[in-house]
Amino acid sequence: MCVFQALSGVLSSHSEDIERSSWTRQLLLCHTDIHEVSWPHLSVVCNPAPSGRARIANEADWGKRGSRRRGHIFKLALRSRSSLLPCSRSSPPDRYAEEVNRSDRAKMQAEDMESSMESPNLEFEYGDTDTLTAELSELYSYTEEPEFALNRDYFEEDFRSHAGGRRWTELTVDEQRVYVMRLLDALEVTDRDKRLKVARAILYLAQGVFDECDTEGDVLHWSRHNIFLLYDMGIFTALLELLTMEIDNNQACSSAVRKPAISLADSTELRVLLSIMYLMVETIRVQTEDDRPEWRAAREAFKTELGSPLYSGEPFALLLFTMVTKFCSMNAPHFPMKKVLLLLWKTLLFTLGGFQELQEMKVRCRERLNLPPLPEDSIKVVRAMRAASPPASAMELIEQQQQQKRGRRSRRPLVKQDSLDTYNERDPFKNDDARDEEDDPEDTDSGIEGEVDPLDRDVIIQPPPPPPPLKPPTERVNFPKGLPWAPKVREKDIEHFLETSRNKFIGFTLGNDTETLVGLPRPIHESVKTLKQHKYVSIAEVQIKREEELQQCPLTLGEEEVEETPAEILYVGMLPNLSQYVIALLKLLLAAAPTSKAKTDSINILADVLPEEMPITVLQSMKLGIDVNRHKEIIVKAISALLLLLLKHFKLNHIYQFEIVSQHLVFANCIPLILKFFNQNIMSYISAKNSICVLDFPHCVVHEMPELTAESLEAGDSNQFCWRNLFSCINLLRILNKLTKWKHSRTMMLVVFKSAPILKRALKVKQAMMQLYVLKLLKIQTKYLGRQWRKSNMKTMSAIYQKVRHRLNDDWAYGNDIDARPWDFQAEECALRESIERFSSRRYDRNKNGDFTPVDNCLQSVLGQRVELPEDFHYSYEMWLEREVFSQPIQWEGLLQDPKH
């Protein structure tokens, strides 16, 4: 407060000058009501010199930036005191400015040193899922750990009466089948408690009869054996019927709505059923080399069964989507959402296929459309890519600055005003967010900025001395030569290039003609040849062209033959309620994000992790806190993987299906939600250790439970990073890339929401795949960020050049492209919306034009038609008559009236 006292003393002695200066009034307001001012609404305008201009605008996230931003304001104000207020020679005008500047710089250097120490090279291999053991352990919360013994006790109680003194592992396969059939019959009893005991016994079998195993490998072996046995005996179908009953149980839903606090006990039946089904889906989905032939056949049959419509007429995934929407609408707050989302994700992964299957499907689709093969396998290229070389270390930068200070001190006593910016320019991967946030939004966002006149500055500007040579990082020695990606050119790029060339050399254009080169000079011929060599025609472009032809000539081309793929079946089922599904998933993602604050009206995603009795000791509280954080991380992981899987499969199936889902995501504010997720200390999130290894399944059921202490809970595991958190971050970045690719209106959303500093903080994570998708997002908006941003972030620009695929005519680094100009981007979204609606109306609208519908007016012909009925129709014939004929109100008198009246 000494700085404030000194400043207020000077200000109080010059009241007339104070009244003429707006910034001093605001600064006094900060001093007098420092604890009462609402920081997000404070606006301070600082004038460093009578002729200078330095502006700090009002921003909504003032409070998050904390003392660093406020210290910068006071530093500018104090530095301006010499030019605005008279002062005595005994108090040099820049003394306080030097103190503030020195403390700020030391704090920034300390943060950079800490950040550099937390940025190891992460040995992370991206895939569809984590290891099978990790995926199984994430199904259970640590609060459910006592239920393992409960499952074992119910199984042994029933099994002992059936098998005498023998163990399950000692029975033959036929004897095991007999016992499973006995359990299957017991599932149909009306007593709810007896059904739950039988379900727990089945869950114990699916968990691998761990009480009879000595190692974790034995548990996984018997779990796999038992699960294929359970599927062969029809357990999954029985569980599906029980799950449908629980979903439609209005009594349980209404009682859960009335309860003030939902706990683990309110979802016991659902958790047991979902756990068995998840274990079956995940275990059968994973293929091993020693699988028996009958197991391979069972896997294909199960995959077809999950992807096909059930007896309710919809795939299994839609039943789970219904549970999600019912939970988010507050009609069933007791649903265990983590298990539902995990089961939904693994069901889609199993039925649709993972990333490797997607690549193979894309290759087959290009062959079917007579398109050239892909230039490379994206998965292999990304996995072989190495992380970007780390910036210069903090110690070296501190040493450089000390040398610069000594050099400047020998020449002049003034403090250089933009020394902090110079420091940040040499290390653009660190603390660029601070510089970007302090830039004028109009200068950085609009791309219209002017150079600052040296005469308007109140300091002497001299170029800094050249920095001492730094030791080259060891990673650069073996860095692969050449660019990792083959460049691509779109047909639109060639047309635009020829249009520009013809206007320049000939004076007129030829439309979309890319073959005629008459009148153009020889270098243009060579350029067009090079562009055509790298021309890439995507599957989406072919689908769009085909859709335009079908819209123009519907009668000539006839009906389109739509292949009934799993993705097509799923899309048709999701289409009527697609917006509800998307909004529900984003609500859950928002509730599980670490940056979200608890609100009274938000959904409660902790219903399946909170125990009935809250913890009473510090150790129990720490354990529950770890469990809650782990629970949220798993939900984020499942939702991010699920959304990415849907986008990729729908894009391959038909581009307009992908665009429909994308528009629903964009209209539901998915872009700012993902940016809000990354607006945190991303290194801390990735390296978070919210896990207790001794409580993970199957370790906890095989080994003796050690005594838990506060130190062991804080230690966590020994890994450098958390696999699921890094997996979630990469998935969210990929979703953001898919939403904004070739969409200038959505790219402008990234600029408006100031995503550049948020994304640049993510570059501190030394993982090649994550850096690649961050650089892609930065590349598409560099043309909108302005010259000053590009000049200040040259190392980021170099990383983009090295790692991101090049489009030969893409003027991404300069912003001269016509698409970069701020036209009416709303028209772009509206045009896309119209194309989507035409596609949906043509392909899925059942209310077709009646003029083109054939009508059979012959009574004998209509009555003589043979109707194909299902084989079991005669069992429910009377029920059908009652529901469809006798219960329907029919106005027989209306048939006798004259239709003309």
pLDDT digits (tens, 9 = 90+) for 114-165: 444 446 688 899 999 999 999 999 999 999 999 999 999 999 998 988 877 7
pLDDT for the residue 230: 96
Least confident of 68-72, 660-664, 795-799: 68-72
pLDDT for the residue 819: 54
CB-based contacts of 684: which residues, under 8 Å, 6+ apart?
A: 118
Token reading at 851: 């003029």
Q: Is 32 exposed, middle or buried (0-12, 13-18, 19+ CB in 10 A)?
A: exposed
**Within a 13 Å sphere around the CA of 41, how many CA atoms are in the beta-carbon half?**
4
Looking at per-residue confidence, does 380 or 722 come out higher?
A: 722
Least confident of 232-246, 256-270, 442-456, 627-641: 442-456
pLDDT for the residue 61: 40
Rounded to 10 deg, the angle between the 522-533 and 491-505 helix axes is 170
- Give residue for tokens 């809000």: 676
Q: If you average pLDDT over residues 281-291, what whole number do you get?
A: 93
Average pLDDT, the chain: 78
pLDDT for the residue 615: 83
**Would you kindly state where each structural domain of the chain is located, as residue ranges?**
1-93, 491-533, 849-896
Percentage of the residues of the chain whose pLDDT score is greater than 90: 48
Looking at per-residue confidence, does 90 or 399 come out higher?
A: 399
Q: Does the pLDDT value for residue 321 go beyond 70?
A: yes
Least confident of 259-273, 480-494, 883-897: 883-897
Q: If you average pLDDT over residues 753-764, what whole number do you get?
A: 94
Model pTM score: 0.75
Q: For 792-829, b where at least 16 C-beta lie within 10 A, e where not — what string?
A: bbebbbebbeebbbbbbbbebeebeeeebeeeeeeeeb
Nearest to 162 by CA among 194, 196, 201: 201
Least confident of 126-135, 188-197, 458-467, 783-792: 458-467
pLDDT for the residue 375: 86
Highest mean pLDDT (candidates 169-173, 223-227, 430-434, 819-823): 223-227
Q: Does the pLDDT value for residue 670 go beyond 80?
A: yes
pLDDT for the residue 123: 87
Q: In the 8-state DSSP scheme, what is residue 121?
A: B
| pLDDT band (50, 70, 90) for residue 513 | confident
Looking at per-residue confidence, does 525 or 873 come out higher?
A: 525
Q: If you average pLDDT over residues 436-440, what whole number do you get?
A: 43
pLDDT for the residue 852: 60
| pLDDT band (50, 70, 90) for residue 419 | very low
pLDDT for the residue 509: 84
Q: Does the pLDDT value for residue 59 go beyond 80?
A: no
Q: Does the pLDDT value for residue 730 go beyond 70?
A: yes
Q: 610-669, pLDDT tens digit by residue?
A: 988 888 888 889 999 999 999 999 999 999 999 999 999 999 999 999 999 999 999 999
Highest mean pLDDT (candidates 166-180, 654-668, 821-835): 654-668
What distance, in Å, lies between the first and last C-alpha atoms of the chain?
91
Q: Does the pLDDT value for residue 588 go beyond 90?
A: yes
Q: If you average pLDDT over residues 43-60, what whole number do you get?
A: 35
Looking at per-residue confidence, does 709 or 244 come out higher?
A: 244
**Within a 13 Å sphere around the CA of 847, how many CA atoms are in the beta-carbon half?**
0
| pLDDT band (50, 70, 90) for residue 57 | very low
Q: Give 634-650 as a DSSP string.
A: HHHHHHHHHHHHHHHHH
pLDDT for the residue 601: 59
Token reading at 65: 């930036």
Q: Does the pLDDT value for residue 759 go beyond 80?
A: yes
Whether 682 and 729 have beta carbons less than 8 Å apart is answered as yes
Q: 846-860, pLDDT tens digit by residue?
A: 655 556 666 677 777
pLDDT for the residue 558: 75
Q: Does the pLDDT value for residue 82 go beyond 80?
A: no
Whether 46 and 56 have beta carbons less than 8 Å apart is answered as yes
